[in-house]
Amino acid sequence: MFSFSSSKLVDRPFDWAYQLKDLGYSGWEIVNEGRQRLTAESMVQAREIVETTDLVITIHLPYSDLNLASVNQPIWEETVRQMKSCLDLASEFSRLAVLHPGHFSPLGMQMPDAAWSQSILGIQQVCDHAARLDMRVAVENMVNMPAILGRRPEEILGIIETVDRENVGFIFDVGHANTNANVEDFLKHSSRMVHIHVHDNHGERDEHLPVGNGTVPWKKVVQALRGYEGRIVTESRSLEEGQRSVVRLKRLMGI
């Protein structure tokens, strides 16, 4: 049930996938950024990993310099295009893709309703494309930055209900929720979660610390997630810190 993910490992990022099973992982979430980005060239390496390991592969759709809530139409169209392109490649070996709902640009702050509408329309288009590829899209709750959409439970649930697609779900990022002081508020909706990201922090910024090194109430998290059957992805700065998170979570879960 545990997958590894890191946007920090940018030097030969496909090589360390072969170490994951020995570290207690059964899956790998590819962050479609930098050298991890799926391209015709990198797909050769990704296929080799899929064919020679039994890792469950999930995908994090691209987000750098992109914005699903952009009111600049060409930027919005390019964001949707890149996400669809990633889905096309990933559909060969992945059934789930994580998505950021976007952020308010300076103009978007003046037109918040339009920005929200762009985000909803963008997610709908991505979901429709994913459905044709037999994939699910998971919308992620975001870190505490005023311009970012999806920081509170009512925002995330509102997005999912308004998008109104059978293949859209909610990915709970525990560390992001901790920066917004609403971990327990999100846990009230644990039955809606289809995917989980775990990392720790001290409640002020997105530090991506190992589980137990910050202020996340992990005992409450584990208790609320009893019966959860999706994947738990450690978003870590290194393989060593990821393994530390897995060991601590297994201890808390009694497995």
Ramachandran sector of residue 188 (left: φ over 0; alpha: ψ -120 to 50; beta: rest): alpha
CATH code, 47: 3.20.20.150
- Total tally of structural domains belonging to the chain: 1
pLDDT band at 15 (very low <50, low <70, confident <90, very high): confident
Question: Which pLDDT value is given to residue 11?
Answer: 65
What average pLDDT does the segment 13-37 reach? 90
CA–CA distance, 230 with 221 (Å, rounded to integer): 14
- Domain around 230: 2-253
Two structure tokens written together for 218: 């992990």
Neighbouring C-beta atoms of residue 90, cutoff 10 Å: 25
Rounded to the nearest integer, the mean pLDDT of the chain is: 95
pLDDT of 188-200, one tens digit each?
999 999 999 999 9
Q: Is pLDDT at 10 greater than 60 in this prediction?
A: no
Does residue 117 register a pLDDT over 70?
A: yes
Q: What pLDDT, on the 0 to 100 scale, is given for residue 134?
A: 98
Q: What's the predicted TM-score (pTM) here?
A: 0.96
- Encode pLDDT of 44-54 as tens digits: 999 999 999 99
Query: Model confidence at 8, in pLDDT bands (50, 70, 90)?
Result: confident
Q: How far apart are CA 63 and CA 212, in angstroms?
A: 28
Whether 103 shows a pLDDT value over 90: the answer reads yes
Q: pLDDT band at 17, cuts 50/70/90? A: confident
State pLDDT tens for residues 118-170.
Answer: 999 999 999 999 999 999 999 999 999 999 999 999 999 999 999 999 999 99
Instruction: Answer yes or no: is pLDDT of 112 > 60.
Output: yes
Residue 26 CA to its chain's centroid (Å): 17
